[in-house]
Structure 1
Amino acid sequence: MTFPPALLEAVQDHPYPLLFATISGAHLYGFPSPDSDWDLRGVHILPAREVLGLMGGQDTVQVMNDPTLDHMQMAPYGTDIELDLVTHDADKFFRLMLKRNGYVLEQLHSPLVVHTSPEHAELRHLAAGCVTRHHAHHYLGFSANQWRLFAKESPQRLKPLLYTFRTVLTGLYLMRTGETQANLSVLNEEARLPYLDELIARKRGGAEKEPFTGDVAFYEREVWRLTAQLEDARDTTHLPDEVTPETKHALSDLLVTLRLKDLS
């Protein structure tokens, strides 16, 4: 994929060194519309002086480029693209990895890489030891929230329906393989749900707020069927209950290395 220059500029302008920056959101999930915004996510490294001193540092940095707002300072990268860059300091991100947080795994393993480093590859390797059966709770909760959003809207939109299927299928894939896959088209190669490819095509060829037309009751039955499968996969998965101690120590060692590297 060729990235818009504004994404590269936003990464280059980041106030802190970056461990990685990847694309998330609809582009990662495989159903961006022509007018979809760009979601950049990543990890930055606070200087050791800021971490050790009394003043602290920004453990989360957000940079937005939103041409729809009146204030020109909200569009430092031009008026032809909407983007949202959010990064966490390595300490915060590593701690999120040790929890049942599917977001950070998706960001870490996104194949749409805008910026990378040798430590990015090392972190991806360590992430395998962070995956537990309890990550199913993240995807069960996320998919349920997206379905509620879809069901209560008037008029209903296609996006939350696709997010519902994307999250429940990502959870199923994770429970069965231990690997993170967020692209709905790739997930459907295994799930083989005949209606998904058509829904994805409608979203990709339509607008970000593309309206939904179809049998809501049918999709509701499908969502609950897949939810039941995810609950069963959570209970029968080979994944462990807890993050391995070895992984915790390795993440801690990597964090120390990154801090000391800043001192050199």
Structure 2
Amino acid sequence: MIDALDIDLAPVVAEQPFPVLFATVSGAHLYGFPSRDSDVDLRGAHLLPAADLVGLREPEETRSRMWDRDGVEMDLVTHDLRKFVRLMLRRNGYVLEQLLSPLVVHTTEAHRELAGHAPGVLTAHHAHHYRGFAQTQWRLFERTGELKPLLYTFRVLLTGVHLMRTGEVQPHLPTLVEEVDAAPVYLPELVAAKAEREHGDAGVDHARVRADVERLHTVLDEAQAASVLPDAPTAYDALHDFVVRTRLER
């Protein structure tokens, strides 16, 4: 494993044809269960010139770059700011986790301002994002029996519960285990096992984990029903103004 905060993105950022507004570490490092051979997932936003968005050609709104660093695969994916903000407004918890990740490897004032708008896009309907993600990962676990999708299943369910209860986006599984009373007690053991291998059988009692996953779905449903989060984003106008201003200032 590598220290994600030691990543020097300056040469990669300098190579990009458009300004990179931010890049943070996502994936297993952010979730608190990287393996020795985990890739490093870098996610963020860039800024296209205004001319690219008003002409006839379709803009390249998503860019990606992969490279190897000391035997570790690095994967940088960024969206144009407008696309990134639209994803934020679509109840997409994944991009909010990227925006708010504490593992920051490149930042700007625009990044900090955008993060400040995050509370204004949170809704009770973000529970649907985490519920759907959990279902997808659980189906993968049932097909493969591997530990990775099982941990993802528990992680997203607990993130959803925590968000509905507190209004905070918390993707770090070890922290969620401590803060969410419904978390299964054996999760720290699974996290420790994941640190040793990226892939492999989970080695768990399938009936037990199935019961716990079903229980957490119920807990998420109850947390959503009781949540004080609004039904719709409140920051749409402010984000529109932010995107326009940021684009025109460059």
Give the shorter-chain TM-score range.
Answer: over 0.9
3-state SS, counterpart of residue 122 of structure 1: helix
* Other-structure match for 2:46: 44
Q: 1:176 aligns with which of 137, 153, 165?
A: 165
Cα offset for 1:257? 1.1
Query: Quick one: distance in 2 between partners of 1:20 and 1:146?
Result: 28
Query: Quick one: distance in 1 between partners of 2:150 and 2:12?
Result: 31
Q: 1:103 aligns with which of 87, 94, 100?
A: 94
* Other-structure match for 2:177: 188
> Which one-letter code corresponds to 2:150 in the other structure?
L
Residues 95-129 of structure 1 show CA distances to partners (whole Å, capped at 9, x for unaligned) of 11111111111001100001111111111111101
* Other-structure match for 2:190: 199
Query: Quick one: distance in 2 between partners of 1:2 and 1:135?
Result: 28
Cα offset for 1:30? 0.3
Query: Quick one: distance in 1 between partners of 2:176 and 2:7?
Result: 29
Q: 1:258 aligns with which of 241, 246, 249?
A: 246
> Are residues 1:64 and 2:66 paired?
yes
* Other-structure match for 2:28: 26
> Are residues 1:219 and 2:209 paired?
yes
Residues 152-174 of structure 1 show CA distances to partners (whole Å, capped at 9, x for unaligned) of 11xx2110010000000000011
3-state SS, counterpart of residue 41 of structure 1: strand
Q: How many residues align?
A: 246
> Are residues 1:249 and 2:240 paired?
no
* CA separation of 1:233 and 1:2: change in aligned 2, threshold 3 A: closer
* CA separation of 1:152 and 1:129: change in aligned 2, threshold 3 A: same
CA RMSD of aligned residues (A): 1.6
Q: 1:127 aligns with which of 92, 113, 118?
A: 118
Query: Quick one: distance in 1 between partners of 2:74 and 2:13?
Result: 11
Query: Quick one: distance in 1 between partners of 2:58 and 2:204?
Result: 52
Cα offset for 1:4? 5.4
* Other-structure match for 2:132: 141
> Which one-letter code corresponds to 2:241 in the other structure?
D
CA contact under 8 A between 1:60 and 1:86: conserved in structure 2?
Answer: yes
3-state SS, counterpart of residue 72 of structure 2: coil
Query: Quick one: distance in 2 between partners of 1:92 and 1:137?
Result: 21
> Are residues 1:116 and 2:104 paired?
no
* CA separation of 1:143 and 1:2: change in aligned 2, threshold 3 A: closer
Q: TM-score, normalised by structure 1?
A: 0.88
Structure 2: 5+ residue runs without aligned partners?
none
Query: Quick one: distance in 2 between partners of 1:159 and 1:180?
Result: 21
Query: Quick one: distance in 2 between partners of 1:12 and 1:176?
Result: 41
CA contact under 8 A between 1:139 and 1:167: conserved in structure 2?
Answer: yes
3-state SS, counterpart of residue 42 of structure 2: strand
Query: Quick one: distance in 2 between partners of 1:2 and 1:108?
Result: 16
CA contact under 8 A between 2:22 and 2:108: conserved in structure 1?
Answer: yes
Query: Quick one: distance in 1 between partners of 2:78 and 2:147?
Result: 28
Structure 1: 5+ residue runs without aligned partners?
66-76
* Other-structure match for 2:146: 157
Query: Quick one: distance in 1 between partners of 2:7 and 2:166?
Result: 36
> Which one-letter code corresponds to 2:114 in the other structure?
L
3-state SS, counterpart of residue 82 of structure 1: strand
* CA separation of 1:78 and 1:23: change in aligned 2, threshold 3 A: closer
Cα offset for 1:3? 4.0
Cα offset for 1:62? 1.3
**Identity score, percent:** 52
